[in-house]
Homo-oligomer: A and B are copies of this chain.
């Protein structure tokens, strides 16, 4: 991580050790954030760094999560979210636009509709005088690596007292064909031992064969089903997703007519879940999880979002190599710190 630039582009780059390390780091950041002293020390770590958030695909949630993560570590942020106000109206190529940012900023966090744009930019920068790290904050239908990280972090936290993630059963429910969240997490879970995956969706929205091949290659056990009811009492985790019909236009598809009613969690079918089973959702949701369930202790989706902020702060801390500093601060402040 010293001389070479540490990009975060695709989930394939993470091994199990990395996942365990980054989650431990996120826990330390979360702990320190709770006190003024801890938060102020965290914010002194990267006070000399500036981040560009280049989010040209609409996203409030991920944008704010990254921006908050930067602020937690004291980084200054800037953003470009609407290409209309940008130099692109003057005929500039997007690669030039982004290369400009490398002149001003120390890291570029980007969300883009093109599947491989972040990787392309990372290559351009690697060959320039001033390579800066690139973080993929979601690229097309393809990858959303930090979402996968926060999902893993949520799983690790949730099962800390129950033997960890290894051997657990997880059901993915809804629009699995286009949800890059599910695609990324399904792959990342191959780093754990004996996790069994269930893909629960109407046929038109079932998970892609590329993912299933990947699971086959890694010897992972899985099942496909259209019967949501059947898995409810079976699994440790239910990972809900919404219909991603904004892709219909681009793909020429028409999925608005698909009814995901049968793939929804209600107060009623929550009764079939085991008491320890957790419910996750990448949000935003539509009707697939009733708001009645929001205060159920098994509903993990709001905490999952907060986890995202901390895991992204941890990622930035790793990129800028201040991991040791964080654990040192935690040790120094120890339990003396007055948590608010």
What residues of chain B lie closer than 8 Å to A97, measured between beta carbons?
60, 284
Q: A60-B86, A87-B61 are in contact. Are A103 and B246 (CB under 8 A)?
A: no
Find out whether the CB atom of B86 lies under 8 angstroms from the CB atom of A58.
yes
Find out whether the CB atom of A104 lies under 8 angstroms from the CB atom of B285.
no
* A223 contacts chain B at the CB level, 8 A cutoff: no
- Min CB gap A214→B, angstroms: 27
In A66-101, which residues have CB < 8 Å from any B CB? 67-68, 71, 76, 78, 80-82, 84-87, 89-93, 95-97, 99-101
* A262 contacts chain B at the CB level, 8 A cutoff: no
Find out whether the CB atom of B60 lies under 8 angstroms from the CB atom of A68.
no
Find out whether the CB atom of B285 lies under 8 angstroms from the CB atom of A96.
yes
- Min CB gap A241→B, angstroms: 12
* A224 contacts chain B at the CB level, 8 A cutoff: no
CA distance A105 to B60 in the complex (A): 14
In A41-72, which residues have CB < 8 Å from any B CB? 43-44, 47-48, 50, 52, 58-61, 64-65, 67-68, 71
Instruction: Select A284's contact among B35, B84, B90, B305, beta carbons within 8 Å.
Output: B90
* A16 contacts chain B at the CB level, 8 A cutoff: no
Instruction: Select A43's contact among B48, B91, B92, B104, beta carbons within 8 Å.
Output: B48
What residues of chain B lie closer than 8 Å to A59, measured between beta carbons?
85, 87
* A242 contacts chain B at the CB level, 8 A cutoff: yes
Find out whether the CB atom of A306 lies under 8 angstroms from the CB atom of B86.
no
Question: What count of chain A residues pass the 8 Å CB interface test?
Answer: 61
CA distance A85 to B242 in the complex (A): 19
* A295 contacts chain B at the CB level, 8 A cutoff: yes
* A311 contacts chain B at the CB level, 8 A cutoff: no
* A229 contacts chain B at the CB level, 8 A cutoff: no
CA distance A147 to B90 in the complex (A): 17
CA distance A64 to B50 in the complex (A): 11
| A177-220 near B? 1/0 per residue, CB < 8 Å | 00000000000000000000000000000000000000000000
Find out whether the CB atom of B48 lies under 8 angstroms from the CB atom of A60.
no
In A280-333, which residues have CB < 8 Å from any B CB? 283-286, 291, 294-295, 302-303, 305-306, 309
Q: List 18 A-B contacts (CB under 8 A).
A: A39-B47, A40-B48, A43-B47, A59-B85, A60-B86, A61-B87, A64-B78, A64-B104, A87-B283, A89-B246, A90-B284, A96-B285, A97-B284, A100-B283, A100-B302, A103-B303, A104-B306, A130-B306
A64-B78, A64-B101, A96-B283 are known; give 8 further A-B pairs, CB within 8 A.
A39-B48, A67-B78, A68-B104, A82-B85, A91-B284, A92-B285, A96-B284, A128-B294
